[in-house]
Amino acid sequence: MDSDRKKKDIVELTRCSAGEFLRSEKLPLRVLADNVRSMHNIGSIFRTSDAFCVEEVILAGISGTPPHPEIAKTALGAEESVRWRHTDDSVAEAGRMRQEGWRILVLEQAHGSVPLSEFSPAKGEKYLLVVGNEVHGVDQKIVDMCDNVIEIPQCGAKHSLNVSASAAIALWHLFAAIR
């Protein structure tokens, strides 16, 4: 057995507490969940946001909010370590944040999109990643106002990934590029 590949035990994986993480420095990156209907997807977005130092998760429209047992099931406590808030209107929120200087990135399949692997965040910019409803995607009004549409190139018979899987891929890319 190669000792360099021994799995880490729980003590080695222990990190800061939820409170310490809330107070720690984050990336200039927020996520806007535009009418994401599945509580499990919301929980997964929280967990991924915790892993990649997202500053805030904004739950918009019909997106569920903590506390909720289905969110907790997949978030595994990340709903307590990641700052979040709810807004009724995702379009208005994206517009407000754009006016505050946030660059709006829409994760969507659209004409004129940029493959995720070709998108490089600019130094000193703040980014809002918008992910959409499981059936309808991101509201077209947000697509129309955004700075960039980024798309995850795919092969296969299916035409899309689950919103939480897509968010995880995009957040990893942004985390690696910004950090």
Domains and CATH numbers, the chain: 25-178 (3.40.1280.10)
pLDDT value at residue 132: 98
Nearest to 32 by CA among 54, 4, 6: 54
What pLDDT shows up at residue 2?
A: 62
Does the pLDDT value for residue 74 go beyond 60? Answer: yes
Q: What average pLDDT is seen over the chain? A: 95
pLDDT at 10: 79
Number of residues in the chain:
179
- From the centroid of its chain, how far is CA 77? 16
pLDDT of residue 98: 98
pLDDT band at 1 (very low <50, low <70, confident <90, very high): low
Residue 14 has pLDDT above 80, yes or no: no
Per residue in 27-40, pLDDT (tens digit) is 999 999 999 999 99
Give pLDDT tens digits for 119-170. 999 999 999 999 999 999 999 999 999 999 999 999 989 989 999 999 999 9
Q: Which whole number is the average pLDDT over 78-95?
A: 97
pLDDT of residue 11: 82
Which residues are registered as beta bridge partners of 31? 57, 129
Could you tell me the pTM of the whole model?
A: 0.94
Burial of 120 (0-12, 13-18, 19+ CB in 10 A): exposed
- Count other C-beta atoms under 10 Å from residue 7's C-beta: 6
